[in-house]
Structure 1
Amino acid sequence: MTATLGRMLAKSSPKELLTGHLAATLAGAGALEERVGRIAVAEQVTGAIFWTAVRLAALCHDAGKVPDGFQAMLAGRIRSWGERHEVVSLGFLPRLIAEGPLLTWVATGVVTHHRSFEGGRGPLTPFYAVPVEEWRERLHPIPPEAVAELTTWLAGTAASAGLPVLPASSGAGDLVEASWQVFHHLLDTWELPVDPDTGLTAVLLQGAVTLADHVSSAHGRLDTRQPLGAGFRSLLEKKFTDQGRALYPHQARAAEVDGHLLLRAPTGSGKTESGLLWAASQVVTTAGRVGGVPRVFFTLPYLASINAMAGRLGRLLGDESAVGVMHSRAGSYHLSTAICPQDGDEAEATAARKAASRAAATRLFQETLRVGTPYQILRGALAGPAHAGILVDAANSVFVLDELHAYDPRRLGYILATARLWERLGGRIAVLSATLPDALTALFRDTLHGDVQLVEADTTDSRRRHRLRLRDRHLTDPATIEEIGRSLDAGRAVLVVANNVADAQHLYAELTQGSGREPEDAYLLHSRFRRMDRAALEQAITERFGVDRPRRGGLVVATQVVEVSLDVDFDVLFTSAAPLEALLQRFGRVNRIAARPPADVIVHPAAFAPRKGGGPEHADGVYLGAPVEITWRILGRHEGADVDEGEARTWLDEVYDSTWGHDWYAEVTRSRVTFEDAFLRFAHPFVARDDLAQLFDKLFDGTEAVLEQDRDAYQAALRQVDGSAAAGRLLAERYLVPMPHWTTPLTTWEKRIGARIVNADYDERLGLGQVHGPAAQRYEAGEVL
């Protein structure tokens, strides 16, 4: 390497030579190709050149950092160069690649690895759709010796990697004019709408280049082993044998399915293991079909259930580091598993550094087995430099969707649309549920083109776990509180599930304050706690009421967060009426493994009224009224009977075979089409989707805020870890309180600490109370979960 090229930097902190970064990004692209394998839709569009284009684009993506202005910025001599290096990188390509499709695809990957053509932050088109003379004036000076030396190095490196390139030239020719010509060729290429396959291939290319770049910049790696593969069934069978049991018939059938799976199995019947056995089989067949190392995504609807599943899988596989946790609070999860309340500042700092590193690795798609929410994977639909990597990582992957909430038609429609995209990308999809209505099986079969097999657990000889009881008064009625108190005084483990936070807080206060009962025997769990308080509550509840723990009396009052999260077992349930799926999940927290005679599950009628903004009636301000009313009528026919879980599925089909159910089906279908049209056709793959991103955040994400009284502690935590802002922020995030997206106007953004501040009442045992905001935007706990 010459002295000139040897001084060229790609990054300044830490310093990294340009050639070193380009070589590492090429290696990252090669590793990504090895892991993902052949992508059928991309091959149909580009022939056999897709991964060749990715690797060449990765090699050349930052070549445009040679101008004096960029190097001066890295050296700290100027604050900002003000130009985009990726447009300069285009000028190197005609020196290396003959004119034709390969040049077009490589150039596309190079120029879009940071910015969109139109829209978003700093779009390229309005800035560079100018005459070549203006380019020359803005981009110069560019040292010619550096251009010549880098051209020779790129050609030699590409040839050594087996990539098709022209012989190295002397670097003659006008780099700026070549850049300008290629850029305008790309504008012409992508100006008009393209067909869905071409648009999807373009986004996959962008995702592959940006992902290789990010992995290289972070000095990361991509795991090349799938722990959930050919040896998993033998591992599981051995564990079962050691425990004196064998696979259930439905588990064995799931393992033998080749294609998509719908599994209907009650809680406690090994549903999770069934899904894992199926996934392991799909990993083997997919790898044989396309090569690579298929990724497995296991999704659940709630953070607590995700965290518990991650730990469970890690223990099952004997390697917790093999499981990635894929949700917005993954760093907090890793921190909570590595830190103890009595740890000092130094131990906390060390744990935070490790937790931040683990979370960053998952964001860079390191692990091949990941647990998260469906919505983290759905974000791939936003495409662009920030999200396209999600799509290429999803290609040829295996998706296990556990306990989808069918009664939310809009989100379900979006998941169905994305499942169809995953199938186009070579994926296999399984849906696992204890409450899988026939209407949902029909929707999946209508959505997916491949074979969809239904496997059901045989519940004929299953022991009855629950006895259904109905009351004619609301859950918060004084007579109900008195009845719950009698169960507690009898030493029973009691679960109370309210439909909203306000009711849960009221019940907890009534059952503990002035009751003479020990407060340490009672817990309140909902979604409006500080992260650290929520984690401590979940751990304490699991320790006291876990399935494998000794029987102890006590109380948990919760909202729907308990439905598919903690692996707990209670003696009796008091619950508000809700959609039938939600109720069956709540029932499943009682007499969980049928170790006792049927236990009482006592359902109370909900209060129906329109929400504050008007519209149809909702049960306790949360659930649409119609399905709750239908459910109540069905339950009324079975009051006092032991619940047959096989028969309960027919109850569910009755709910969906109603006027409301038919409307629900139509709305799911409309939502699927809407999401597909808005997000998944990629007619303009390089136009930013900021407006869609905002809609997505409103649908799937809330906001978080720091309590006014925690501001100083939050700020101190940010500075607690020397040399790692990410670790400090992770420690600070323990103080964040989740809030609904619409409550953002109740908070103030404090730029200095990068967080929202909320003035609100808060209690470690009760959670978020009254928010002291504008009257027009006042938060009421009963309106949201």
Structure 2
Amino acid sequence: MAALWGKSAGKAGGRKNVLLSHLLDTAAVAERLWDGFLAPSTRLVVDDIAGGPGKGRRFFSWLCGVHDYGKATPAFQRMWPEGAEAVRRAGLTWHEPLVARRRWRHDRAGGHLLCRDLAAAGWTEQQIDWVWPLVAGHHGRFPSRGELTPARTAKGHLAGTGPWPAAQRALLERFTTELGFENVTAVAPVRTPSRAVQLHLSGLIVMADWIASDERHFEGVDDPHRVTFEAARARAGKAWTALGLHRGWGSHDLPGSEAFRDRFGQDPRPSQTMVIEAARRMTAPGLVVVEAPMGEGKTKAALLAAEILAARFGADGVFVGMPTQATSDPMFGQVRTWLDRIDGDLSSRVALLHGKRMFNPEWRAMVAGSEEDDASRFGGVDAYGECLDDDPYGVTSSDPWDEPSATGPGARGPAEWFLGSKRGLLCPFVVGTIDQLLLAATRTKHVMLRMAGLMGKVVILDEVHAADVYMSQFLREGLRWLGQAGVPVVLLSATLPPRQRQDLVGAYLAGAMSREEYTAGGLPEPGGYPSVTAAWPEVPVGAPGEMEGRTEPAYLVDHGPGWRPDLSVAIDVLPERVPPPRTKRAEREAADEAAARSVADLLERELSTGGCALVIRNSVARAQRLYQLLRDRFGADVHLLHGRLTAGDRADRTARCLDLLGPTGGTEGRPHRLILVATQLAEQSFDVDADLLVTDLAPVDLLLQRIGRLHRHAGVRRPARLAAPRVVVTGTTALGGGAPRFPGVSEAVYGRFLLLRSAALVRQSLPGAERETAEAGWRVPARVPDLVAAGYEASDASLPPPWREATEAARTQWETTERQRAETAGASLLTRRGDREGRTLAGLHYAGRAENGDDASAEWLVRDGAPTVEVVVVVRQGQVPHTINGRALSVNGDVADELLEDLLAGTVRLPQSLTEAALRELRPLPGWRGHARLRYCPALELDSRRTAVLGDYEVRYDRELGLVERRLTAH
């Protein structure tokens, strides 16, 4: 037993680490996790599994430490020649030709040995069945029971024959008694946790293993006489201090009535009080759905509700998921300010999780202080197969934005350990894109780490209405797991279609009650707007015992007055000529040009005495074309914002727009006249105020989101002509007569059916139109819920008769497409249909995705559509590449430290039409290949005219228009 090695000398600081030492090191790290990291709710559940208060800590330590038991086999011990020779000298031999020809991973070997040896120790089959997958899956994927068995043709030599079984059992017994158990029999758990809790524990085991595998803190121990649990505890203590890992707020007192004013400097509005009281009245962890108008203060209400839910149900942190990277950045600052007012130390424990976080000045300042290259620790596959590319010292991170943090003096951000690939969600407080949660619901490698990062927190998801049918499959799957784990969740939305609200509540409750499916048919409809809908199981999740026998869930549904009075928004339509499909490009361009001139003429009339207009187009090309025409007429009063600007240009323009049209009035005051032309970027979490809105037609919920930018702020002086809020709808033919046509890009993005439903509602609102109410226009927000419900219903009763046949055909196509998209997403969901009542993690990764589940792949796994490529734009002047801002690099592209941020500011996402050519033709510059943050970044090299040919397209970067593409062949 003493001869068995766990880490080779090359992976343990120059000295072999005996296997028992690594098991004890990991168990000692687990104790540190228990004492200084795990949420109170997690500790309570593990105590209950282990047999009662005070018993969970040792059991958790044993679970973590036993993870590498499978290394006590010839299949592993032969992999390092020097270690193998010592094992043979100790009398543990094997038939090398038989073993060498067959691979048997040590994680699966560990599961196999535990099934054999725990049964011999008297564990029941039920106890063994949920424990072995934690060991067999600790390298990222959970095999089935049948996948554990070594190849029969090896004739037992992979697992070991002769003295091997006795040596293996002696190792297990020695490890167990070192931890203070009488024997292996005494370890047996008394309860079977839910599968979600098992997944949580699995992630924590991986975390403990990764920490204990860090040779910087855990040197090898080759003298078996020095291997004790006390020595391992000493090493773990030093490592814990050096890593600077920390929990969230620990035990958090229940906030009192004064907390809202203390946190946010104002008294809560009625709708905010409604949300806070719902959190106080819930008797178990559950789901809270908050629906309120834009600007009502949903986020502040959700943050205080999270405090209450955490205090009541033992959560130790918060994850705030936003729809986009752009919306995550301002939320990051808000969350830090909120936490700072609770405890000054907490604001440094917030991680920002998205691919562009290093462009966020606040985040960059937090993590400044270390120039260490993560690649040195995440770059190679172990020569002896010790890690088999499954832990942080054998994983090549494919995220070009990974960066270290300082943990020594001057560090102001989260501990460096949390910033590695796949570990960000483990940070106590996290703000990021919703993709982080969606990826935690996928059948990808190391998914347990992501889910463990969510469990033990309160989860807040903003603008959930933005999730389409594809993303919604992952959202509902994530809610199922969170419901089963007893994680409180708060969902925020301007409003939800009734069916979507019911589906989200049903998904959470299905998990909470461990059912395959649950239809929340008894969920009451809110009686008004704003509203709150809360749902939870009557018996607290995580309570002792099995999951059967739960009562039906409890519901709390309430509504209240909004903060601001309703706006009576006048609706108008500016129709345009939309050529039929398959029209020649020249004719389409002529029609688009005429449509742009119509908008320009409208703005010239409406802004004749000044005013600020927001124009939203459904594609970058439409926005660019309109901007060019308006710029010729209005000069510098026109601004352009869209997603094909470089990161630096986009950040600068966003900040400029917020300064000019934001709630504070900006440093220069509100301009006399301004026109902002934007794409869907202006649709959500974009706090600007427009006197006039001109927008392409979109589904009604998104149209209402855009209307949320209209007359948004109080106290703004407006020209008399624009004193009343008005929206002009473009992107459609005339709404009289037969069914209208829409630009092809709009139909491609939203589908014809939803656009027809939205157009019918717009048509009803026009002056002189036949309608159920006598009032023209829309009263916002009062009519928001019924407008959204009407926009998604299948009934054609409200449609003009000439539209009905076309709408029915569009509905059929839309339903078919939606079903196909849902089925496509289903192939990657963490659980398959029919497996959602499973009791263990065995086989969870069967037929799982090939992706490693790294941060860079997240967006394209959980978002529908073909992937696109981000590139860094450089401009060649002679032989020397320059940054987009004109600063010279070396001939090979080598980047001085002071030029790095300027270079990365030239990052831009290419349109999907260029993806294939970009993947085929673009590579990093030679000087980038060894650079931690550039080695994965393809360069788009432009000539002195700022153009390049990519596939069948000419691309150009214009400092006003952004990236412009032009097809070189007729189409």
Alignment of 1:302 onto 2:405:
no
Query: Residue 474 of structure 2 contacts residue 862 of structure 2 at CA under 8 Å; is this kept in 1?
Result: no
Corresponding position of 1:265:
292
Q: Give the TM-score normalised by the residue count of structure 2.
A: 0.62
Corresponding position of 1:766:
961
Could you list the per-position Cα deviations for residues 610-630 of structure 1 after superposition, in whole angstroms to 9, with x for gaps in the alignment? xxxxx9976364221222222
Corresponding position of 1:703:
868
The 2-side partners of 1:215 and 1:731 are apart by 35
Corresponding position of 2:691:
571
Corresponding position of 1:469:
572
**Which of residues 209, 212, 219 in structure 2 aligns to 1:213?**
209
- Choose 1-10 or 700-709, whichever is displaced more: 1-10
- Note closer, same or farther for the CA distance 1:406–1:86 as it changes in structure 2 (3 Å cut): closer
- When you count helix as a share of all residues, which structure comes out higher? 1
Alignment of 1:112 onto 2:137:
yes
Query: Residue 286 of structure 1 contacts residue 294 of structure 1 at CA under 8 Å; is this kept in 2?
Result: no
Corresponding position of 2:661:
545
- Note closer, same or farther for the CA distance 1:6–1:560 as it changes in structure 2 (3 Å cut): closer
Could you list the per-position Cα deviations for residues 156-203 of structure 1 after superposition, in whole angstroms to 9, with x for gaps in the alignment? 5422xx6964799xxxxxxxxxxxxxxxxxxxxxxxxxxx99765654
Aligned residue type for 2:39: R
Query: Residue 40 of structure 2 contacts residue 250 of structure 2 at CA under 8 Å; is this kept in 1?
Result: no
1:321-360 matched pairs, under 5 angstroms? 321-333=348-360, 337-338=364-365, 353-354=404-405, 357=416, 359-360=419-420
The 1-side partners of 2:566 and 2:429 are apart by 34
1:117-266 matched pairs, under 5 angstroms? 130-135=153-158, 154-155=175-176, 157-159=178-180, 165=184, 203-217=199-213, 219=243, 221-225=245-249, 230-231=254-255, 234-238=258-262, 242=265, 245-257=266-278, 258=282, 259-266=286-293
Query: Residue 435 of structure 2 contacts residue 862 of structure 2 at CA under 8 Å; is this kept in 1?
Result: no
Query: Residue 200 of structure 1 contacts residue 685 of structure 1 at CA under 8 Å; is this kept in 2?
Result: no
The 2-side partners of 1:603 and 1:529 are apart by 26
- Note closer, same or farther for the CA distance 1:333–1:285 as it changes in structure 2 (3 Å cut): same
Cα displacement (A) at 1:498 = 0.5
Cα displacement (A) at 1:437 = 3.2
Corresponding position of 1:531:
647
Corresponding position of 1:60:
66
Cα displacement (A) at 1:576 = 0.9
Cα displacement (A) at 1:309 = 0.9
The 1-side partners of 2:369 and 2:466 are apart by 45
The 2-side partners of 1:73 and 1:454 are apart by 67
The 1-side partners of 2:820 and 2:634 are apart by 54
Higher RCO (C-alpha 8 Å, min separation 6): 1
Corresponding position of 1:35:
39
Cα displacement (A) at 1:310 = 1.1
Corresponding position of 1:744:
915
Cα displacement (A) at 1:502 = 0.8
Cα displacement (A) at 1:304 = 1.0
Cα displacement (A) at 1:302 = 1.7
State the secondary structure of the residue aligned to 2:688: coil
Query: Residue 320 of structure 2 contacts residue 459 of structure 2 at CA under 8 Å; is this kept in 1?
Result: yes
Could you list the per-position Cα deviations for residues 72-116 of structure 1 after superposition, in whole angstroms to 9, with x for gaps in the alignment? 6999xxxxx987454666698688993525566554323321154
Alignment of 1:652 onto 2:788:
yes
- Choose 556-565 or 442-451, whichever is displaced more: 442-451
Could you list the per-position Cα deviations for residues 223-247 of structure 1 after superposition, in whole angstroms to 9, with x for gaps in the alignment? 242698733863422355x5xx521
Corresponding position of 1:626:
753
- Note closer, same or farther for the CA distance 1:696–1:551 as it changes in structure 2 (3 Å cut): closer
The 2-side partners of 1:351 and 1:204 are apart by 24
- List runs of 5+ in structure 1 lacking aligned partners: 76-80, 169-195, 288-292, 609-614, 779-785
- Note closer, same or farther for the CA distance 1:351–1:365 as it changes in structure 2 (3 Å cut): closer
Cα displacement (A) at 1:586 = 1.1
**Which of residues 329, 333, 352 in structure 2 aligns to 1:311?**
333
Query: Residue 617 of structure 2 contacts residue 677 of structure 2 at CA under 8 Å; is this kept in 1?
Result: yes
Identity in percent: 22
1:767-782 matched pairs, under 5 angstroms? 767-770=962-965
Alignment of 1:754 onto 2:936:
yes
- Note closer, same or farther for the CA distance 1:455–1:322 as it changes in structure 2 (3 Å cut): farther
Query: Residue 32 of structure 1 contacts residue 222 of structure 1 at CA under 8 Å; is this kept in 2?
Result: no
Corresponding position of 2:461:
401
Corresponding position of 1:690:
849
State the secondary structure of the residue aligned to 1:432: strand
- Note closer, same or farther for the CA distance 1:303–1:351 as it changes in structure 2 (3 Å cut): closer
Aligned residue type for 1:307: D
Corresponding position of 2:476:
416
Could you list the per-position Cα deviations for residues 591-617 of structure 1 after superposition, in whole angstroms to 9, with x for gaps in the alignment? 222334533332224369xxxxxx997
The 2-side partners of 1:443 and 1:107 are apart by 34
Could you list the per-position Cα deviations for residues 680-724 of structure 1 after superposition, in whole angstroms to 9, with x for gaps in the alignment? 2376224351268799835517432325746967998997589xx
- Note closer, same or farther for the CA distance 1:61–1:360 as it changes in structure 2 (3 Å cut): same
- Choose 579-588 or 321-330, whichever is displaced more: 321-330
The 2-side partners of 1:700 and 1:364 are apart by 20
**Which of residues 451, 456, 460 in structure 1 aligns to 2:559?**
456
- Note closer, same or farther for the CA distance 1:509–1:47 as it changes in structure 2 (3 Å cut): farther
Cα displacement (A) at 1:439 = 3.4
The 1-side partners of 2:17 and 2:424 are apart by 22
Corresponding position of 1:179:
none
Corresponding position of 2:392:
none
- Note closer, same or farther for the CA distance 1:598–1:396 as it changes in structure 2 (3 Å cut): farther
Corresponding position of 1:517:
635
The 2-side partners of 1:423 and 1:764 are apart by 48
The 1-side partners of 2:871 and 2:298 are apart by 38
Cα displacement (A) at 1:367 = 2.9
Query: Residue 155 of structure 1 contacts residue 166 of structure 1 at CA under 8 Å; is this kept in 2?
Result: no
1:559-598 matched pairs, under 5 angstroms? 559-596=679-716, 597-598=723-724
The 1-side partners of 2:559 and 2:938 are apart by 47
CA radius of gyration, larger in: 2
Query: Residue 485 of structure 1 contacts residue 511 of structure 1 at CA under 8 Å; is this kept in 2?
Result: no
Cα displacement (A) at 1:62 = 4.0
- Choose 108-117 or 295-304, whichever is displaced more: 108-117
Cα displacement (A) at 1:301 = 1.3
State the secondary structure of the residue aligned to 1:690: coil
Corresponding position of 1:274:
301
The 2-side partners of 1:503 and 1:557 are apart by 10
- Note closer, same or farther for the CA distance 1:199–1:252 as it changes in structure 2 (3 Å cut): closer
Cα displacement (A) at 1:314 = 1.1
The 1-side partners of 2:150 and 2:899 are apart by 37
The 1-side partners of 2:402 and 2:479 are apart by 37
- Choose 440-449 or 621-630, whichever is displaced more: 440-449
1:85-100 matched pairs, under 5 angstroms? 85-86=106-107, 98-100=121-123
- Choose 573-582 or 315-324, whichever is displaced more: 315-324
The 2-side partners of 1:321 and 1:500 are apart by 39
Cα displacement (A) at 1:541 = 2.4
Could you list the per-position Cα deviations for residues 627-683 of structure 1 after superposition, in whole angstroms to 9, with x for gaps in the alignment? 222222322333464633202332222222333799789987997798678532376
Aligned residue type for 2:650: R
The 1-side partners of 2:702 and 2:253 are apart by 33
- Note closer, same or farther for the CA distance 1:284–1:517 as it changes in structure 2 (3 Å cut): same
Cα displacement (A) at 1:531 = 2.8
The 2-side partners of 1:124 and 1:772 are apart by 51
Aligned residue type for 2:701: E
